[in-house]
Amino acid sequence: MTDITAPATASQPVLCVQHLGKTFGEHTVLKDIDFTVNKGDVICIIGPSGSGKSTLLRCVNLFERPTSGKIVFCGDDNACQNPRLLRQRVGMVFQNFNLFNNLNVLHNCTLGPRKVLKMGKTEAETLAKKYLAAVGMDSYLNAKPKQLSGGQKQRVAIARALCMGPQVLLFDEPTSALDPEMVGEVLSVMSDLAQQGLTMLVVTHEMNFARNVANRVIFMDDGVIVEQGTPQQIFDAPQQQRTKDFLSRS
């Protein structure tokens, strides 16, 4: 494993993944995963199918209970014990959007703030409209998810996550379920967010996004972190044979 290169700015840790291990029955999916997410980081996780990338993200917001090791959410000890508290601070954007089919775009975005943050109706709606405008979906407030294209759904899903004011946002292959012509609109929203300083942990197969937007890239294979570093280090000068093989294939 190569050294972690510290970001240029003074690093302020937000989330620490410490010696994380996960097994499903006999099957070990993650082994001794150890890394720190600093404020403002955009970390891309790449790796072959089945290497445990989704499982890692699901452990980070406690959808899966780690078998060993732990997730430390810095600055709030309670949050690490309580999944619901943690998830208010660590948002998630899914491959299949998971928008609520029974609610329109606006109410998809206001449900979390109203029920979880106990925000008032008008306040929540103002907030939702602000983030929907940021992702270019503010003219679709009344649409139901099934009336939207894939790219539009994913942009709404991103706005929905932003409404909770997360300190870290996790993305699990946010563009993998999209038709090629819609990938761009979602990636450009994500680049904007990165530029605004949102801390993001992104599992992706979009190598250009990883190269241009991330400040750190983690390559995983077979449940371990094989190599991590800046995009230049990983893409231009990979140290490990497995990384080279993977990059030459994709």
Q: Mind giving me the DSSP string for 102-129?
A: TS-HHHHHHHHHHHTS---HHHHHHHHH
**In the complex, minimum distance from the CB of residue 68 to another protein, in angstroms, rounded to a whole number:** 18
Per CB under 8 A, 153 contacts another protein: no
Among 51, 110, 167, 243, binds ligand ATP (CB under 6 A): 51
**In the complex, minimum distance from the CB of residue 187 to ligand ATP, in angstroms, rounded to a whole number:** 18
Per CB under 6 A, 184 contacts ligand ATP: no
Per CB under 6 A, 107 contacts ligand ATP: no
Longest dimension (CA), the chain: 55
Specify the residue, 97 or 219, whose C-beta has the smaller distance to another protein. Answer: 97
Q: How far apart are CA 76 and CA 156, in angstroms?
A: 28
Q: How far apart are CA 156 and CA 61, in angstroms?
A: 20
**In the complex, minimum distance from the CB of residue 247 to ligand ATP, in angstroms, rounded to a whole number:** 15
Mark the segment that binds Mg ion (CB under 5 A) among 53-61, 102-110, 205-213, 237-245.
Answer: 53-61
Q: How far apart are CA 136 and CA 70, in angstroms?
A: 37
Per CB under 8 A, 162 contacts another protein: no
Per CB under 6 A, 243 contacts ligand ATP: no
By CB under 5 A, the count of residues binding Mg ion is 1
**In the complex, minimum distance from the CB of residue 105 to ligand ATP, in angstroms, rounded to a whole number:** 27
Torsion of CA 86, 87, 93, 95, to 10 degrees: 90
Neighbours of 210 (CB within 10 A): 23
Asked if 30 and 41 touch (Cβ cutoff 8 Å), the reply is no
Q: Mind giving me the DSSP string for 41-99?
A: -EEEEE--TTSSHHHHHHHHTTSS--SEEEEEETT-HHHHH-HHHHHHHEEEE-TT---
Mark the segment that binds Mg ion (CB under 5 A) among 29-37, 47-55, 116-124, 133-141.
Answer: 47-55
Asked if 217 and 231 touch (Cβ cutoff 8 Å), the reply is yes
Mark the segment that binds Mg ion (CB under 5 A) among 16-24, 35-43, 52-60, 194-202.
Answer: 52-60
112 is in the binding site of which of another protein, ligand ATP, Mg ion, none (Cβ under 5 to 8 A by kind)? Answer: another protein
Specify the residue, 38 or 175, whose C-beta has the smaller distance to ligand ATP. Answer: 175
Residues with Cβ within 8 Å of residue 22, at least 6 apart in sequence: 28, 29, 30, 52, 55, 59, 64, 66, 67
Residues that bind another protein (CB under 8 A): 61, 63, 83-85, 87-88, 91-92, 94, 96-104, 111-112, 115-116, 136-144, 147-149, 152, 157, 160-161, 164
Residues that bind Mg ion (CB under 5 A): 54
Residues that bind ligand ATP (CB under 6 A): 24, 27, 29, 47, 49-55
